[in-house]
Every structure is written in C-alpha cells, then in structure tokens.
Amino acid sequence: MGDETQKSRERSRRLPKKLLHGGDYNPDQWLDRPDILEKDLAYMKEAKVNVVTLGVFSWSVYEPEEGTYNFQWLDDIMDRLYDNGIYVILATPSGARPAWMDEKYPEILRVNEYGVPNTHGVRHNHCMSSPAYREKVRVMDEMLAQRYGKHPALILWHISNELGGQCFCPLCAARFREFLKKRYGTIDQLNHQWWTTFWSHRFNSFDQIDPPSKRGETSIHGLNLDWKRFTTWNMTDFMTWEIQALRKWAPDIPVTTNFMRLYKGLDYHAMAPELDIISWDSYPAWGNPKETLTDTCFRTAFEHGVMRSMKPDRPFLLMESVPSIVNWHEANRLKRPGVHELTSLQAVACGSDSVLYFQWRKGRGSYEQYHGAVIDHLGTNTTRVFKDVAHLGQTLEELSYIQGSIGKNPAAIIFDWENRWAIEDMAGLSNRKNYDETIQSFHKVLLEHGIDGDMIPGDGDFENYKVLIAPMLYLLKPNTAKKLKAFVKNGGILLATYLTGYVNENTLCWLGGFPGDGLRELFGLYSEEIDSLYPEESNGLEFCGPLKGDENKTYEIRDFCELIHVEGACVMGKYTRDFYQNMPALTKNTYGKGQAWYLAARADEPAMAVILGKISQEAGLLWETLPKGLEIHRRYTEDGRCFTFNMNTTNAPLHYRGLSLDPLETKIIESKPE
Ligand code: GLA
Ligand code: ZN
C-alpha cells in the first residue's frame, strides 16, 4: 500500500465508532429564531441524531460583504452541538456564491456551450478554472480549517456540494488544449487518434481545437471523450485545491464530497483516489407505481454497490437521503410506513456507516420549502416522519457494532465511466444501448441468487474476485486486456458479452477482429457482425453441452445479436432463429487455470441466471434462488465476524431457511464467515 493510501486509510478510521445518524442542518437560515435553534437541539437528541452537516451553502452568511467575516454563530452552534454529543461534518461553501462575488468577479460565472456566461443565481455553477474563484475558495477554506480544524466536534470535511456540470469559458478551453497537449504530445498523434481526416477535420495546431459543442464540433468521438475526461480532471483539480487548503491546517481530518448517484458528467472512479471517504446522495422514487418496491431496492443496492466498490477496504457514507419526500420527483409520493427503516437499513447493509438526511428542518421559503425534512413546518416531534426517524435512530444506535465492517464480495462487474461515455456517444447499433441497465441487470440476477457484486472500472483490481463480469466492454483502456488475461490465467472466471473490445481508449476501432487488443485469444473467438433488433423483434437462445437443460428450453434474446466464429472456444448456446440460427450465442474458453465465457447476445434475465449460476458454481460460490423479494447483503469485521442482512422488500411475510421476516423487515444474523 502506498504512503498516501495508507494515510488516507488512517484518516478514514478516525470517524466515530458508531453508525452516523443526522444530516444537513442549516441553522444560518434561522439565526433570528433562537427558540427554534434551542428546540432543534432537544429534538435532535430525541431522534438520536449524532452528527449534522453544517455550512453547505453558508458563504453569504460567513462573508456578507467582501472581507467582512462572521463566524460567531458557527462557533456557538459547533460548541452547543458538541456539548450535546452531536458531531459535525463541515462543508466548504463553494457550492454557491454570494451576489457580491459574481458582481465583482464575473469571470467566476460559468459559460455555457453557446458561449453565454450565466448571470448570478442558483448553485453548482462556478468555473472550475477561474483563478479568482480558486483564490476566494482557498482563503475561505483555510479560514474554516484554521478556526475549526481542531474543534472536537469536527469529524469530516465535506468538499463543496454535488460537484458537477461543465464550463466552456475561454480559460477552460485553454486548459483543455493544455490537457490535450500533455495527453498526445503532438498534433499529429492527436489527429491520428481522433481520426480527423474524416470530413476534413485535421488540425494544424492545438490552438484550433475548441471544446465540443452544439455550435461547433460534435462528430469526433475522441474529442467528445477527451472533453469529458478533461472536465473530470479539472473538477478533480478544483476539488484537490480545496482539500490542500484544508489539509494545511487540519491534516488528520478525513475528506469527502457527496457524489450524485451514477452522475454521467464526471468519472467518479477518477475522483475517488483523492478522497478519504466516499459518500453519496440517494433519492430513489420509493413506492413509484412503475416498478415494485423490490425492483427499486435492487436498483438502489446497485447504486450503493457502485459507491462501496470505489474503496472496498472501508465503509462509505450515505450523505443525503430524505426521511419523507423530495420536491422534484414526477410525483412526490410519501414513504409508506416501514419503508424508511427498510431503505435506511439497506444502505447500512450495502456498506454505509451512516444514514443522513437532507435536511433536518424545512425552510420557510425558496425552492426547497416543500422538500421533506425531519422537522416539518408544523415544528413538532409528533409527526409520523419524526417518529420514523427517531425509531431508526434508536435502531442505528443499537447497531453501532456494525461500524467499520466491510463487504467482501466474490464477484465483480466492470462498470466503467469512460466505456459508458464511449457507448453513449457511438453512432451505430440502435438507440437501445442501455449500458447502465445491462450492468444493473447482471447485478440484480446475482443478488436474486444470494451473491452481491462489486462494480469496478475497466482498469480495477480484478484479482480480488473469483468471478468477473464484463458487460459491453466496448472501450479497452490501455491495460484492460492484459489484466483480463492475467485474471483468467490465474484461475478467474470471466464472462464478457457482445460489444467487447471494439475500440481503444480514444475510440479508434481495433483492427483484425473484435474483441481487440489480444482478447480474441482469450475468448477463443472473433466477432464478424452485430445485428440490432427492433423493439418488437427477438431471437432465441438454446443452451447446449453441459448447460442443456432437460426441457429444451428457449430463452429470449433482444436488442443485440453478435455473429461470432469460434477459434477454440466451446459452444454452450446457440441462436434459434434467423439466418444465423445455430451460430454460437454463448461460448466458453479454457485459458490458463481459468475460463473466459462470451455471451454474444442480450439474453433475458432467466438466461443470465443459468449462465451466472454455472459460472458461480465453477468458481465454488454458493448459488441459490432466493425467495422473491428477499435481498441479502453481508458485512465482515476484521476479526472475522460476518453480519448477514436479510431484507424483506415486499409487503407480505417471507420465509427463508427457518427465518421469518415480516413485511419490510430486516433481520441481521451474525456468524463466522463460511
Ligand atoms: C441534493 C443537494 C441538496 C438538496 C437535495 C434535495 O442532493 O445536495 O442540497 O438540494 O438535493 O433533494
Ligand atoms: Zn470556465
């Protein structure tokens, strides 16, 4: 483990030895109501709140005019919280700016892709390159760190808020050119990798390159991808700028920033190494009528899994969730009784050491006045929501022994942001590429059979797993093919699918047969064509060889059918219709001590279950069909204790191996690991 990784791990371990319960608290909106602040403290204690996040959007209160500072209120509140046993996560306020700043330093305002600068307002919209903003942020962050870095209540820095978006200002464009120069060295190399002779798009110098935009270039996939990489790099650079300012005065306090689900604008895998703790904001539409609660739970488990897998050696934090409703869903449906507890414990089951909310108390006005909170406009502790929260607080307190334990999952799925961007941007196939949905389907099928999966990038640590699934791994990063081969050679079992290895990291197609970069040898096959189906069309998959069931069942295939030729691989399944009837649809190749499977078509979930079942058994994993609606996750302590979370995500009682679960109930069973 490198020095920096070790330090980061140590910082992460300084969090309190309990599950955190609390959330965003905005007392600065209530400074003229000391009676309310007084009540807040009493209610927090009653609800077993042990941490609050302060100062997420407090800049205009911290610095009402340039150079005039006002921290007394925060001093008082931090002291009082601490005296009442409540910790503080302190945010840097860079997520939104006071009006005076935008007025005096207009360069801070973000510029849109049509070249139009924003006017002042809303949030999350600064230019990441702006020297003026960076300097303002540095001064503010250092002030906070100097003043509160040693405060006993402070447990964690929360960098900005939900970093996101892009800026097309001249400064960002100039930095983009620098980024490209570093990446490609020469303009010739860039022209080659971007295939710019196409449509006469050759550049003579880096100065001719603009960010891709609707008013200019959108047809060069390499450019589009590099712009996304650059935006991630520039955002990370801004974020580390903030982290450095804080570390100068408070080097031991861990840092996090709150991620937004599977946000497409930033490669979270590239940002994660700079953070000590991964945290995220989760707002599923619980109880929406378009899917079952079980399905919403599966999707959320997937999202938790993405977060957990970014630092599998430590827990993550659920930084925001809502105890009742948000104000921005299609319809803001109340959480039905029992759902708050189930879904909060699900976060813990998946590896979170916290259940935190946005927010503690509803504001009186502005955009989020109807967003759910622990304390309503009614202002009492008598509400259904408050009671739910207080009950959960009690439960979390009793579960403090879970803190610090981690998931050790035997299976991983490659979920890669750059691959996702490339697939989304590719012009071809059909408009039902559904990369995210496909990945999530694999994760769901595993969960339905008692196996949780981690989600890792294309250049992740494969060797920690026994089974590796690589759906639609279209783009191969420079070391991906090598790592896949090493994984299988050493005994791992790999399952890849249609669309594997079409392009290099700059979206240039591999020549000489897909999957490229030497993977043809690993899978013992090559792909010649791919057929995209209309939504009303399908094909069939019939297993053969050892997978052939008794009943000669045909499984459904939709969307994509790749036409592959085996060069050594065993055929395990065939197409049942069309001119490619009887061509291989599933193959297995023995390679070194392991196996490389290839699923050439988008098969339905029952077929995926057959394949994953076989693969898991070969890897020595327990594979069992769980009762519908049962979700199982495990967490392990360093000294070998295992906590199995058995969750009933349905409204009916459920029985499993002598365990009876009431509707929406979670039971945690402790055991020694198998
Ligand atoms: C995000 C933000 C919060 C709040 C919530 C509302 O997660 O970080 O400040 O606006 O959304 O759902
Ligand atoms: Zn900019």
Per-residue pLDDT tens digits for 437-492: 999 999 999 999 999 999 999 999 999 999 999 999 999 999 999 999 999 999 99
Question: Tokens representing 448?
Answer: 């339905």
Dihedral of the CA atoms 520, 522, 523, 525 (nearest 10)? 30
User: From the CA of 258, how far away is ligand 2's center (Å)?
Assistant: 22
- With 0-12 / 13-18 / 19 or more C-beta atoms within 10 angstroms meaning exposed / middle / buried, residue 263 is middle
Separation in Å, CA 672 to CA 12, 88, 374, 406, 433 = 26, 35, 37, 14, 42
In which element (H, E) is residue 351 found? none
The answer on pLDDT for 90 being more than 60 is yes
Question: Tokens representing 509?
Answer: 């197609």
| CB contact set of 27 (below 8 Å; sequence gap of 6+) | 37, 40, 54, 73, 77
The answer on pLDDT for 674 being more than 80 is no
- Is 0.95 topped by the overall pTM? yes
In which element (H, E) is residue 352 found? none
Residue at token pair 């509803």: 362
| CB contact set of 354 (below 8 Å; sequence gap of 6+) | 19, 20, 21, 51, 279, 317, 318, 319, 347
Closest ligand to the CA of 132: 2
Question: Tokens representing 379?
Answer: 């202002």
Look up 162 and say whether it is catalytic. yes
Give the separation between CA 107 and CA 109, rounded to whole angstroms: 5
Is 156 strand, coil or helix? strand
Q: Is 359 in the pocket of ligand 1 (CB under 6 A)?
A: no
Residue with CA closest to ligand 1 atom 12: 326
Long-range contacts of 176-183 (CB under 8 A, 24+ apart): 176/209, 176/211, 176/226, 176/227, 176/230, 177/206, 177/207, 177/209, 179/226, 179/229, 179/230, 179/233, 179/234, 180/206, 180/209, 180/226, 180/230, 181/206, 183/226
Give the separation between CA 432 and CA 537, rounded to whole angstroms: 13
Residue at token pair 């620098």: 178
Q: Which residues of 391-409 are buried (b: 16+ CB within 10 A; e: fewer)?
A: ebbebbeeeeebbbbbbeb
Question: Tokens representing 300?
Answer: 């959320």
Rounded mean pLDDT of 17-38?
98
Is the CB of residue 203 less than 8 Å from the CB of residue 196? Answer: yes
| CB contact set of 462 (below 8 Å; sequence gap of 6+) | 412, 456, 468, 483, 484, 486, 487, 492
Q: How confident is the model at residue 220 (pLDDT cuts 50, 70, 90)?
A: very high
Q: What pLDDT sits at residue 426?
A: 97
Question: Tokens representing 646?
Answer: 């058995």
Q: How confident is the model at residue 643 (pLDDT cuts 50, 70, 90)?
A: very high
Q: Is 133 in the pocket of ligand 1 (CB under 6 A)?
A: no
Q: What pLDDT sits at residue 552?
A: 80
Q: Is the peptide bond before 315 cis (omega within 30 degrees of 0)?
A: no
Q: What pLDDT sits at residue 540?
A: 98
User: From the CA of 235, how far away is ligand 2's center (Å)?
Assistant: 11
How would DSSP label each residue in 263-285? -SSS-HHHHGGG-SS-EEE----
Q: Is 326 in the pocket of ligand 1 (CB under 6 A)?
A: yes
Query: Which residue in the list 63, 242, 320, 341 is annotated as catalytic?
Result: 320
User: From the CA of 417, how far away is ligand 2's center (Å)?
Assistant: 23
User: Beta-strand (E) ranges in 307-407?
Assistant: 317-320, 354-357
What is the sign, positive or negative, of the torsion defined by CA atoms of 52, 280, 387, 24? positive
Q: Is 510 in the pocket of ligand 1 (CB under 6 A)?
A: no
Q: Is 57 in the pocket of ligand 1 (CB under 6 A)?
A: no
Q: What pLDDT sits at residue 529?
A: 98
Per-residue pLDDT tens digits for 538-581: 999 999 988 988 668 999 999 999 999 999 999 999 999 999 99
**Which of 281, 356, 357 to mutate to test ligand 1, by most ligand atoms within 8 A of the CB atom?**
281
| CB contact set of 625 (below 8 Å; sequence gap of 6+) | 448, 449, 609
- Looking at every residue in the chain, the average pLDDT score rounds to 97
Which numbered atom of ligand 1 lies nearest the CA of 328?
Answer: 12
| CB contact set of 657 (below 8 Å; sequence gap of 6+) | none
Q: Is 161 in the pocket of ligand 1 (CB under 6 A)?
A: yes
Nearest to 437 by CA among 472, 461, 466, 412: 472
Q: Is 341 in the pocket of ligand 1 (CB under 6 A)?
A: no
Which numbered atom of ligand 1 lies nearest the CA of 283?
Answer: 12
Euclidean distance between the first and the last CA atom of the chain, given in angstroms as a whole number: 27
Closest ligand to the CA of 126: 2
Q: Is 371 in the pocket of ligand 1 (CB under 6 A)?
A: yes
Q: How confident is the model at residue 48 (pLDDT cuts 50, 70, 90)?
A: very high
User: From the CA of 130, how far away is ligand 2's center (Å)?
Assistant: 6
Q: What pLDDT sits at residue 549?
A: 81
Per-residue pLDDT tens digits for 318-342: 999 999 999 999 999 999 999 999 9
Per-residue pLDDT tens digits for 398-412: 999 999 999 999 999
Q: What pLDDT sits at residue 212?
A: 98
Q: What pLDDT sits at residue 673?
A: 58
* Beta-carbon neighbours within 5 Å of ion ligand 2: 127, 129, 167, 169, 172
Question: Tokens representing 503?
Answer: 């392009």
Give the separation between CA 312 and CA 305, rounded to whole angstroms: 10
User: From the CA of 174, how far away is ligand 2's center (Å)?
Assistant: 9
Rounded mean pLDDT of 413-436?
97
Q: Is 259 in the pocket of ligand 1 (CB under 6 A)?
A: no
Residue with CA closest to ligand 1 atom 5: 358
- How far is Cα of residue 331 from the mean position of the Cα atoms in its chain? 24
Q: What pLDDT sits at residue 595?
A: 98
Query: CA triplet 375, 378, 383: central angle to 5 degrees?
Result: 60
Query: Which residue in the list 63, 162, 303, 448 is annotated as catalytic?
Result: 162
Which numbered atom of ligand 1 lies nearest the CA of 320?
Answer: 7
Is the CB of residue 556 less than 8 Å from the CB of residue 575? Answer: no
Task: Please give the share of the chain, as a percent, with pLDDT higher than 70.
Answer: 99
User: From the CA of 237, how far away is ligand 2's center (Å)?
Assistant: 13
Is the CB of residue 489 less than 8 Å from the CB of residue 517? Answer: no
The answer on pLDDT for 120 being more than 70 is yes
| CB contact set of 542 (below 8 Å; sequence gap of 6+) | 548, 552, 553, 554, 555, 573, 574, 576
User: From the CA of 128, how far away is ligand 2's center (Å)?
Assistant: 6
Q: How many Cα atoms within 13 Å fall on the side-chain side of residue 403?
A: 18
Q: How confident is the model at residue 519 (pLDDT cuts 50, 70, 90)?
A: very high
Rounded mean pLDDT of 357-385?
98
Question: Tokens representing 664?
Answer: 């929406």
Per-residue pLDDT tens digits for 234-287: 999 999 999 999 999 999 999 999 999 999 999 999 999 999 999 999 999 999
Q: Is 358 in the pocket of ligand 1 (CB under 6 A)?
A: yes
